[in-house]
Amino acid sequence: MASTLTVTVVGCSGSFAGPHSPASCYLIEAEHDGTTTRVVLDLGNGSLGALQRYADPTDLDAILITHLHPDHFIDLCGLYVLRKYHPTDTPDGRQVVYAPKDLFRRLQLAYYGKAELEESEHFDHRRVRDGQTIEVGPLRILAHRVEHPIEAYGYRIESPAGVVAFTGDTDSTSMLTPLLTGADLVFADAAFIEGRDEVRGIHLTARRAAEAVIEAGGVARFVLTHIPPWNDPEVSRAEAAELWSDVEVASAGARYVLSAE
């Protein structure tokens, strides 16, 4: 039976929501052996709204959070409200969320202004560690620590239909090679601009993203993402295109489908 892996860009705006896109959020749907597995990667500000166009946010097999900056996780507060207070549809069990340490404490601080509970009734937080493999349905997900001012991970999602890799927020690091090598589809941070953003250890430029993809080798499609509203995406595209001519730029609502017989 054919397998497919569909990635829907729910939000791709860098660092905060923009006029045309929420912040970071990707819906990954795997069809395999007659079953559908749904995973959401990041739930940044504004993304819970748009996610409802594509999936029931209370019917996800797992949520993967790259790191605890608000443009990647803060809409878990809205998901908490949806799960806890929906007048008729209260979901069973707890939502599995793979994320760095302190996720639940941060959510409590954001929501209540204090962190007193040890466990959540609504979220099953599983702490991610560097090099960890996570199995969700037919998906094999590898987490690699990347280069950002706080604990941050990139995820490589392997499925029978192909491989999609997300750098998360990162600057250049050797960890990008095991994340990206041979991926059918790569979404790479391109928040910084060559010659403008000189600080290191936070984000890739589009050029550095292209260098990482070329260094990794075997990548089929390469998409720039996490571009903040104050950037011109065409400047980023031109930077990367010097090294990778058919580089793409993510947009909210775009869909990418991988398939195998």
CB of 203 to Zn ion, least distance (A): 8
Q: Which of residues 108-127 bind Zn ion (CB under 5 A)?
A: none
In sequence order, which ranges of the chain are alpha helices (DSSP H)?
Answer: 47-51, 70-73, 76-85, 103-112, 176-180, 206-216, 233-241
Q: Exposure of 218 by Cβ count < 10 A (0-12 exposed, 13-18 middle, 19+ buried)?
A: exposed
Which C-beta is closer to Zn ion: that of 29 or that of 169? 169
Nearer to Zn ion, 161 or 209 (CB): 209
Cα–Cα distance, 185 to 26 (Å, whole number): 13
75 binds Zn ion (CB under 5 A): no
Beta carbon nearer to Zn ion, 69 or 144: 69
230 CB contacts (<8 Å, ≥6 apart)? none
Closest separation in Å from C-beta 182 to Zn ion: 26
Strand 162-166 versus strand 248-249 pairing type: unpaired
CA distances from 12 to 187, 254, 259 (A): 10, 10, 23
Question: Which pair of structure tokens corresponds to residue 93?
Answer: 């069990």
Number of residues that bind Zn ion (CB under 5 A): 3
86: which 2 tokens?
């929906």
13 DSSP 8-state letter: B
Query: Hey, is 114 helix, strand or coil?
Result: coil
Q: Taking the mean position of all CA atoms in its chain, how far away is CA 176?
A: 15
In the complex, the smallest distance separating the C-beta of residue 31 from Zn ion, rounded to whole angstroms, is: 30
Nearest distance from C-beta of residue 63 to Zn ion, angstroms: 16
Nearer to Zn ion, 17 or 183 (CB): 17
Closest distance to Zn ion from the beta carbon of 238 (Å): 22
| Residue 44 token pair | 């940044």
- Of 73 and 123, the one with the shorter C-beta distance to Zn ion is 73
Q: Which is nearer to Zn ion, 69 or 145 (CB)?
A: 69
Sign of the dihedral defined by the CA atoms of residues 160, 27, 98, 216, in that order: positive
Smaller CB separation from Zn ion, 71 or 158: 71
User: In whole angstroms, what is the distance from residue 67 CA to residue 102 CA?
Assistant: 10
Q: Which of 31, 42, 71, 171 binds Zn ion (CB under 5 A)?
A: 71
The one segment of 61-69, 136-144, 227-235, 247-255 that binds Zn ion by CB under 5 A: 61-69
By CB under 5 A, tell whether 106 contacts Zn ion: no
Report, in Å, the least distance between residue 191 CB and Zn ion: 7
Name the one range near Zn ion by CB under 5 A: 71-79, 96-104, 137-145, 216-224.
Answer: 71-79
69 contributes a contact to Zn ion by CB under 5 A? yes
User: Per-residue contact track with Zn ion, 159 to 178, x per CB under 5 A?
Assistant: ----------x---------
Give the separation between CA 109 and CA 182, rounded to whole angstroms.
40
Q: Interface residues with Zn ion (CB under 5 A)?
A: 69, 71, 169
